[in-house]
Chain A
Amino acid sequence: MSAVTTHHDDHAHEDHHHGPPPGLMRWVLTTNHKDIGTLYLLFALTMLFIGGFLAMGIRAELFQPGLQLLNPDLFNQFTAMHGLIMVFGAIMPAFVGFANWQVPIMIGAPDMALPRMNNWSFWILPFAGILLISTFFMPGGAPAAGWTMYPPLVLQGGMNVPFLIFAVHLLGMSSIMGAINIIVTILNMRAPGMTLLRMPLFVWTWLITAFLLIAAMPVLAGAVTMLLTDRFFGTSFFNAAGGGDPVMFQHIFWFFGHPEVYIMILPAFGIVSQILPAFCRKPLFGYESMVYATASIAFLSFIVWAHHMFTVGMPLAGELFFMYTTMLIAVPTGVKVFNWVATMWRGSMTFETPMLYAIAFVVLFTIGGFSGLMLAITPADFQYHDTYFVVAHFHYVLVTGALFAIVGGVYFWLPKWTGHMYDERLGKWHFWLSFISVNVLFFPQHFLGLAGMPRRIPDYSVQFVDWNVVSSIGGFVFGLSQLLFVYIIFRTIRGGAKAPDRAWEGARGLEWTLPSPPPYHTFVEPPKVTEADAHS
């Protein structure tokens, strides 16, 4: 599709012809990147609350020893579905929503390259979600073998097994289509003068993430298809009694799973790299090294997978290889953190809500990185593996990492998307409530894990009571605080102070040259991008 479609003399005239059709069908039939971006973000928000409800159930059960609310089987369903819904329903679609809204208006393209596929890749998601969640109401209940779906345990599931597998297939298809669309858009539809190394860092991180998606998702599809044939067609891929190997599933799953981890964090790096310079009023430090660091992390993600399975009994050489490669990830990740700190250094900082989230991201993601480095040390990992230490680690990188970047990004671009400023006072309340409670929630889980509490258990020995009580209280406050987030978003959609085109004093980039909210079609005539108004 050409960047220049129709020619019109003035914007107002063009809007008149190309505005959205009224009613519900606008959302069903839309091929507009802004509408689809909104749909993705609202879907992710809904899933965040469904997954969050499950998390509240988990924390309520773990609030005291003994079983009060959930029987052990239902508890396992909660943990498995919490993971699946948060990973595939909340975090990933939220980032695709950001990509849909932001990539075209950041590179000066009129829309995504493949708008009809864009519509399809979104509308698969609600059906996949319903397929997955409906298993709760089936005889035997939802999948209960963890989001990692390890056989042979996962194959003991009842009716939910084929539903789980087809839901994963659909979610994977949606992701792959979204990724293809993003790559084609970025490589073909940049405005004149928007060279690759002038692209905003958010666009760069998404370009690299999209390649990871295309490489990783089919591997997951293969793994779950083998589960399907093992269960229903008499194959023995993962059944030792038939000559198969249950550990092979783990190798295949984590060959997908580790790139997946970076799929959920690289766009977060991108968002934070947009927010920090804007509120420091200073260009991003080390732009090129940020791009190279992102690419290095993406490459390394394919050769570290077995650090998720150090305890399966690999040969010594294998354990050493995966320990060294995993430790190596600390280098490019460190480069990113140092660059962010250098960006802040001698800036002229203000601390609006997006900036608060970005700073919290840098600090708390780094803490998650430290525990990641500890987990990389194989002999020590034998102690940490499958304990709450791991739970603390990946929630630091996924909640205070990925989710905080998403929330910060929403506050950052909400004025652009809606045309209204959000309520800064409420935004700060939301930040401080979330920031304090999330640390009360997850930091004690490090202690629980080190003291010997395994993950995925519905009940625990009384020596673990204290930190579990603390963690649960943090969890309840964190969960409730997110209701404030929803209130702020909907209030901003409905009204509020008018946002200027450049909503933030220090914000640089093409999206801030557009009106707030931008018209339905933007950059129908591509802008000319010079060195000066390229990335901040």
Chain B
Amino acid sequence: MNMCPGALRKWALGLPLALSLASLSGSASAAWELNLPVGVTPLSTIVYDLHMLILWICVLIGVVVFGVMFYSIVYHRKSRGHEAAHFHHSAFAEIAWTVIPCIILIGMAIPSTTTLIEMEDTSDPDMTLKVTGYQWKWRYDYLEDGVTFYSNLAPESRRAIYEVGGPQERAEKYLLEVDNPVVLPTDKKVRILLTADDVIHAWWVPELGQKKDAIPGFVNEIWTRIEKPGTYRGQCAELCGKDHGFMPIVVIAKPEEEYRAWVEEQKQAQAEAQTAALREWTRPELMAKGEAVYASACAGCHQLDGGGVPHHIAGIAGSDVATGDLDQHLKVVLEGRAGTTMRAFGTELDDVELAALMTYQRNAFGNATGDLVQPATVAVARLNLGD
């Protein structure tokens, strides 16, 4: 068992903070939240109404049943001199409280059934988004436009996780912010295909009113039609390992024209990334980009300081791989290590990102190899490994 470093001290230091947060944040908008969001899609609105309907039926039944019970508790007690009756059976009562609940249940089942039928109807979409769950990030593919990217927990949130003294309060949307948000058009029927690369994840944005598992080897589908522009946040909802709590989802809904402009921007950026791989990069450029790639792709396991997790995950700082033979290091990153949680990053990162990452890992955390890795070197390594 290994706990967080300085565990108890850190916990105790945060105590007054937690208590004051709880007492002060009464005025903040999202605090002390009690109920489901109504959401911004037709489905989320129907689901909210259904939820409230069932809730009120339950409350009503509760008031009646508990009311009778508490009346009895107050008046039918021995200390008031109440004598026990001797009845112990009534066919009429038994039939009544079997039949009446059945009728109530049928009343609940009808709107539930119609809603469910509507939710499962993914036909005739205007566009399709494919979502792939990874440990621990999401990949988004816009099937019609060929736009592809990965979405990670924002570095600011990641840095705040182990801090003491309220940086979680200061981090913008702590744990609910990503580096690359999904952008979707408003008022379009978007079909979302869900799958996973490693273990089961679940894609959930409460305000869209849908949640579905992303299962390796299978494709699930849901649909949504966002009616209001805005930013909607969610999280992975199926336990998927160590960083299950750290793979948020951010959906930005934009009107059609703005959405089209964003798509064009993405396409252009992807084209630029391809030409960037052809030129020589300087050391500061590589180190700066490498740090960013490291923070999103590696720090989840190996930690921001490169120290890893004792007994679980090897450190990068001073590791034989990151200070040894470059080709071997590249091989591990491109292909992963079978039988461990070290995944292959060959398809996930492009040549520039890998070159920057290699340069960063081999020169940061005291790994003073002095190596400078260019995108071309990565491209060659890919070819060699492909043999």
Contact = CB atoms under 8 A, between A and B. Distances in A.
B78 A247 contact: no
Contacts of A311: 202, 211-213, 237-238
B194 to A, nearest CB: 8
A454 B235 contact: yes
A338 B72 CA distance: 13
A218 interface: no
B58 A373 contact: yes
A377 B120 contact: no
A339 to B, nearest CB: 8
Nearest to A146: B239
B19 interface: yes
Interface in A129-156: 136-137, 139-141, 144-146, 150, 152-153, 156
Contacts of B116: 316, 319-320, 323, 378-379
A76 B243 CA distance: 10
Interface string B178-222: 000000000000000010001110101010011111011110110
A284 B86 CA distance: 10
A73 interface: yes
B7 to A, nearest CB: 5
A152 B1 contact: no
A471 to B, nearest CB: 11
Nearest to B102: A331
Interface string B1-35: 11110011011001101110110011010111111
Given A66-B163, A156-B341, A328-B105, A462 B168 contact: yes
A347 B73 CA distance: 9
B260 interface: no
B138 to A, nearest CB: 14
A76 B241 contact: yes
Given A73-B242, A311-B212, A463 B30 contact: yes
Interface in B68-122: 68-69, 72-73, 76-79, 82-90, 93-94, 97-98, 101-102, 105, 108-109, 112-113, 115-117, 119-120
A377 B218 contact: no
A150 B200 contact: yes
Contacts of B22: 465-466, 469-470
B204 A450 contact: no
Nearest to B207: A452
B76 A346 contact: yes
A222 interface: no
Contacts of A241: 216-217
A354 B28 CA distance: 43
B160 interface: yes
Interface string B234-277: 11111111111110000000000000000000000000000000
Nearest to B19: A469
Nearest to B165: A66
A518 interface: no
Contacts of B17: 64
Contact of A387 (B78, B218, B237): B237
Nearest to B8: A69
Interface in A31-82: 60, 63-74, 76-77
A324 interface: yes
B4 A385 contact: no
A458 B3 contact: no
Nearest to A449: B36
A172 interface: no
B3 A71 contact: yes
B387 interface: no
Interface centre among A60, A73, A150 (most CB of B within 10 A): A73
A281 B3 contact: no
B216 A152 contact: yes
A241 B236 CA distance: 23
A282 B36 contact: no
A378 B245 contact: no
B94 A379 contact: no
A472 to B, nearest CB: 8
B337 interface: no
Contacts of A362: 69
A247 B164 contact: no
A282 B88 contact: yes
Given A286-B89, A452-B37, A457-B244, A327 B109 contact: yes
Interface string A277-293: 00011111111110000
Contact of B113 (A146, A153, A320): A320
B119 A348 contact: no
A72 B245 contact: yes
A141 B115 CA distance: 44
Contacts of B243: 72
A246 interface: yes
Given A246-B217, A380-B54, A456-B239, A366 B65 contact: yes
A226 interface: no
Given A145-B239, A462-B169, A469-B21, A377 B112 contact: yes
Interface string A295-326: 00000000000000001110010011001100
A30 interface: no
B383 interface: no
Contacts of B162: 66-67
B279 interface: no
A447 interface: yes
Interface centre among A359, A377, A458 (most CB of B within 10 A): A377
Given A452-B234, A470-B22, A313 B218 contact: yes
Nearest to A343: B88
A240 interface: yes
A380 B78 contact: no
26 contacts: A64-B18, A72-B245, A73-B242, A74-B3, A76-B242, A145-B239, A153-B240, A153-B241, A245-B218, A282-B86, A285-B88, A287-B89, A316-B120, A327-B108, A341-B65, A363-B69, A366-B66, A373-B108, A379-B112, A380-B47, A380-B54, A385-B237, A451-B35, A462-B21, A466-B22, A467-B32
Given A140-B311, A377-B54, 15 more contacts: A70-B3, A70-B7, A76-B244, A156-B199, A338-B97, A344-B69, A349-B78, A383-B47, A383-B51, A383-B206, A451-B36, A452-B235, A457-B235, A463-B33, A466-B31
